[in-house]
Amino acid sequence: METIIFLLFVGWCVTTTIINGDIFDPIRNYTLVRFPKISKLFTCIRCLGFWIGFIGFGSLTIFGVLGEILAGVHPFFNFIILPFVQSGSCILFESIIVFLHKQTTVNINTEKSGDL
């Protein structure tokens, strides 16, 4: 179970880096202008989380790594259900981060002093 939670966390890290990372700004901007329908993939955490989960859990299933972790589970589960779980966990992790970030406040001193 710990391994699945770790894989979900890694999938969220990849997803949020692609969606929010400055390094991917040129790719997001290019697809937004040239391919508007595909640009949704690079801006929607739910959409990208699903495809990251499909690629990640699918490749781990094909190479036999995930079969050892989830003994007795049909591969259909790995290819279809786990990407939805990945997408949901991305939304959950991102919501927690946004909630914790909103609790941070910055106080700015607005008192004017006569001396500069």
Q: What is the pLDDT of residues 14-51, one digit of tens each?
A: 999 999 999 999 998 999 999 988 888 888 999 999 99
Query: Is there a domain that residue 110 lies in?
Result: no
Query: Is there a domain that residue 65 lies in?
Result: yes
Distances (CA, A) of 42 to 7, 15, 26, 79, 105: 21, 9, 11, 21, 29
Structural domain of 8: 2-102
Q: Which two tokens stand for residue 108?
A: 């700015």
Query: Is there a domain that residue 49 lies in?
Result: yes
| pLDDT value for 116 | 53
What is the total count of domains within the chain? 1
Query: Is there a domain that residue 7 lies in?
Result: yes
Query: Is there a domain that residue 26 lies in?
Result: yes
Query: Is there a domain that residue 112 lies in?
Result: no
| pLDDT value for 8 | 93
| pLDDT value for 113 | 63
Mean of the per-residue pLDDT values of the chain = 86
| Cα distance between residue 104 and residue 70, in whole Å | 39
Query: Is there a domain that residue 71 lies in?
Result: yes
| pLDDT value for 52 | 95
Query: Is there a domain that residue 111 lies in?
Result: no
| pLDDT value for 114 | 58
